[in-house]
Amino acid sequence: MSTDSGPDQSLSRNVTNILGVKISSRDPNTKWDVTIREKVISSIKPHDPESIIPSSNPQVLNGHNCLLAPSLCHPHIHLDKCFLLNDPKYADLEIENGDFAEALTLTSRAKSRFNHDDLLRRGGWLIEESISAGVTCMRAFVEIDAIVQFKCLDAGLMLKDRYQKTCYIQICAFAQDPLFSGENAAENRRLIEEALWREGVEAVGSTPYVEANKGRARDNIVWAIDRAKSYRKHLDLHLDYHLDASQDPMVDYVISRLHNVRWTSSMNHQTIVLGHCTRLSKFAAGE
């Protein structure tokens, strides 16, 4: 695991040769040796079963007859809320009901205790665990609201810089709390907008389903889309997180709004991601 001094150096080995691996496009009964030069595969040759693979050379990786595959992308992680149940600091926040309402309540209580060192420690655990599983890029949500202010963002940007040699971390300024409901709504909007000026923030995200009603949820969607367009950021909405078929899904409204603002013709490479969306599983065949 990482410490405040930096990431585990074993995660950034300069490997130049991967020996004795399977490749998906080749005969599964064959093994191959891969040579890498300047971070690009320069050759793939049949593996010599008589060759001796040195165990002491850190630049040579013994593939052990495993499948060689592209690295993984984690498109949805929360750097600030990871490992809460594994950290003694939050041991008193026990799950009793296991429902979504309880999760929001416990998370809110945990957020009031967040500090810089705590966020760096748990976020580092998650990143290093991801890298060890083959992840080399991720979209990381960091919450910004009246409770945590910029604590999560500051830690996220520091982790982005700390692990830049081993994992590309795309920071999303994320509003988990309401933007149009409750006493902190205006402050939450102000903080998110301020965060979008920060170097290293590449996406903006929000959670329309936490608003008090459908009208406020639509306001949330409109605001998030407009901010993404104004600041030229990727857009990530956590949407339709329920299984109630009697409720109309909000995804239709999102698509309509994106057409209205001519997203595809006015934005360059900025993408749109809709997360959670469990309501989609209740769509009829015609929908």
pLDDT tens figures, 34-86: 999 988 889 999 998 777 777 778 888 888 899 998 899 999 999 999 998 88
Buried b / exposed e over 140-167, threshold 16 CB at 10 Å, is: bbbbbbebbebbbbbbbbbbbebbeebb
Closest among 183, 242, 258 to 208, alpha carbons compared: 242
Place of tokens 């209740």: 282
Residues 144, 179: contact at Cβ < 8 Å?
Answer: no
Closest among 146, 168, 171 to 156, alpha carbons compared: 171
pLDDT at 7: 58
Give the C-alpha separation, 9 to 79, whole Å. Answer: 21
pLDDT tens digits for 146-183? Answer: 999 999 999 999 999 999 999 999 999 999 999 999 99
**Burial category of 169 from C-beta neighbours within 10 Å (exposed 0-12, middle 13-18, buried 19 and up):** buried
Helix ranges restricted to H, the chain:
100-111, 116-132, 151-162, 185-195, 214-231, 251-260, 263-266
Closest among 187, 109, 210, 120 to 160, alpha carbons compared: 120
* Res 18 pLDDT > 70: yes
Task: Give, as one character, the DSSP assignment of residue 58.
Answer: T
pLDDT tens digits for 180-205? Answer: 999 999 999 999 999 999 999 999 99
**DSSP letter for each residue of 95-159:** -SS-SHHHHHHHHHHHHTT--HHHHHHHHHHHHHHHHHTTEEEEEEEEE-BTTTBTHHHHHHHHH
Give every CB contact of residue 105 below 8 A, 6+ residues apart in sequence. none
pLDDT at 53: 73
pLDDT tens digits for 204-251? Answer: 999 999 999 999 999 999 999 999 999 999 999 999 998 999 889 999
Closest among 152, 139, 138 to 81, alpha carbons compared: 152
This prediction's pTM: 0.85
pLDDT band at 9 (very low <50, low <70, confident <90, very high): low
pLDDT band at 11 (very low <50, low <70, confident <90, very high): low
